[in-house]
Amino acid sequence: SELHQYFTDLSKNKLNIVYKPQNITVIPKFVSGTVIEILSKNDNDDKLSQITEKLNLSKILERNISVLSGGELQRVAIAAAYLKNGDVYLFDEPSSFLDVSERINMAKLVRTLSSENKTVIIVEHDLAILDYLSDYVSILYGEPGAYGIVSHPQGVRVGINIYLNGYIKDENVRFREVPILFHEHPPQESLYGFGDTIYSYEDINISLGNFNLKVTGSEIHSGEIFGILGANGIGKTTFINSIFDSTMKNKERIEFENEGEEFKINVSLKPQYIKIDGDYPVSDIISNIRLSSHLSQSYKKRLINNLNLENIRERKIPELSGGELQRVAIAQCLSKEADIFILDEPSAFLDIEMRLQVAQLIRKSLEELKKAGFVVEHDIITQDFIADSILVFEGIPGLKGRASAPQSLRDGFNLFLKMMGITFRRDSATKRPRVNKLNSKKDNFQKSINEYYYIPK
């Protein structure tokens, strides 16, 4: 097979392998210096200025690697890998921490490696980006933590559709009983309906140093989930903090006045960067959930089962992978007694199936509890499954931002994707969203009728 020659060359050290790791947060522990110093060491073909422009790194070149955000660190890691001379490039989850426009820029850049006769292998859980990036797809299935099987390569469209359907015809293997389905139109409103107004806020203007954010007033209802879309560094976290007059990482119980009365609102937060202190096993967290008196037995069972916590019950917190830690953090967030739940990038490090499972879990949980939620998410497909309405942030990262009032899913996605210059079509077999090629006939048509995501009414 083709792999025989590959492994023969690999064993004889004839191949130069370049690897961009999954967990980029540990990079500052092993690498020091400014961004420009680090990238210059890897620049063997004088491509540095070109790559920094394409990945929008110019403004952070003089910053130390230790102070970068997750998105900045990811872009630096991708740039460092790209600049190296290699025969085979391995990118493990390159879209994590990146916003939508950064994901598209990353995908365009990585694809250029294949035109240079390089082999590029990518692990990616954002379906739209995986589709945009790949020529061929291999499906990995099996039992997490026990075994995995790799399928024959398939064309990207066929391969993703096989994964969603759960059946590999040429191997006669079924690895999923129920296919993953998508909706072409915005879903109907919450099954339980929205309840009373929890909090209302007027138009506000927030200034933090050189950054300014303008927010359009709105109301927060019980049972409603606001999906938040916007570029990194444009005020999404600032918005949440300032609306509730609270720093999320330090304070979970907040107080404010509304119409002359004082309310006390409990907030449960799943932060973007997860840090759970302690050396205890996951079984302790499972026990705490089961002992929660404010939750029904069915709710607790669904939370534990849907997040597959039993499979990792004996593992200690420091031993967990990024995806396992994410599942634990989501479980902790959704098991707390709160009025408002805030989940910042809940799909990070999760595989495709778990992303959609988590999206459905968040919706069902907050609908049943009749509580409100804010979900910051860069995976468009995952956000589509979670949100009832969309808050769109626009502006200039690091300088100014503007937050619109909540809009319907159709209007919100149209506004956001119009800003990004991106349109999605629907796959004819599975109805999953697929990114259109820029300036293609389909892309231009959808832009002309202002339908960037859902099919026309």
pLDDT at 275: 85
pLDDT at 189: 56
| C-alpha to C-alpha distance for 225 and 444, rounded to whole angstroms | 32
Tokens of 261: 């009365």
Tokens of 289: 């959930």
Mean confidence (pLDDT) of the chain:
89
Tokens of 268: 């449960």
Q: How far is CA 221 from the centre of its chain?
A: 25
pTM, 2 dp: 0.86
Domains of the chain are: 2-123 (3.40.50.300), 197-420 (3.40.50.300)
**Block means of pLDDT (10 residues each) for the chain, length 457 residues?**
84 94 90 94 84 93 92 95 95 93 93 89 94 94 88 95 94 91 73 68 83 88 91 84 50 46 73 87 96 95 96 93 94 94 92 92 93 93 93 91 91 94 92 92 96 88
pLDDT at 200: 75
| Region class of 324: left (phi > 0), else alpha (psi between -120 and 50), else beta | alpha
| C-alpha to C-alpha distance for 17 and 119, rounded to whole angstroms | 10
pLDDT at 256: 44
| C-alpha to C-alpha distance for 338 and 374, rounded to whole angstroms | 13
pLDDT at 244: 53
